[in-house]
Copies of this chain bind each other. A is one copy, B any other.
Amino acid sequence: MSSVISKATLGRLPTYLEFLKRQEVEYISSTQIARALEWGEVMVRKDMNAVCGQGKPKVGYLRENLMTSILDTLGVDKNISAIMVGAGKLGTALMEYKGFSEYGVDIKAAFDNNPEKWNERFANGKRIYPIELLKEYCKENDIRIGIIAVPQSQAQIVCDEMIDCDIKAIWNLSAVTLDIPEGILVKNENLALSLSFLKTCMMRNEERNDF
Contacts and interface: CB of A to CB of B under 8 A. Distances in A.
Contacts of A73: 200
A103 B192 contact: yes
Please classify how large the interface on chain A is, using the bins under 10, 10 to 19, 20 to 34, 35 or more: 35 or more
A127 interface: no
Interface stretch (A55-63, A94-102, A110-118, A157-165): A94-102
Contacts of A199: 75, 78, 80, 103-105, 145, 169
Nearest to A207: B3
B39 A103 contact: no
A211 B105 contact: no
Contacts of A8: 37-39
Contacts of A89: 89, 92-93, 96-97
A198 B211 contact: no
Interface string A59-77: 0000000000000011110
Interface in A1-23: 3-8, 10-11, 13-14, 17-18, 21-22
Interface stretch (A25-33, A134-142, A182-190): A182-190
A205 interface: yes
A185 B203 contact: no
B43 A201 contact: no
A14 B190 CA distance: 9
Contacts of A200: 10, 73-75
A22 B178 CA distance: 9
Given A93-B89, A193-B103, A208-B3, A201 B40 contact: no
A204 interface: yes
Given A4-B210, A8-B37, 8 more contacts: A80-B203, A89-B92, A92-B93, A94-B191, A105-B192, A145-B195, A147-B195, A189-B191
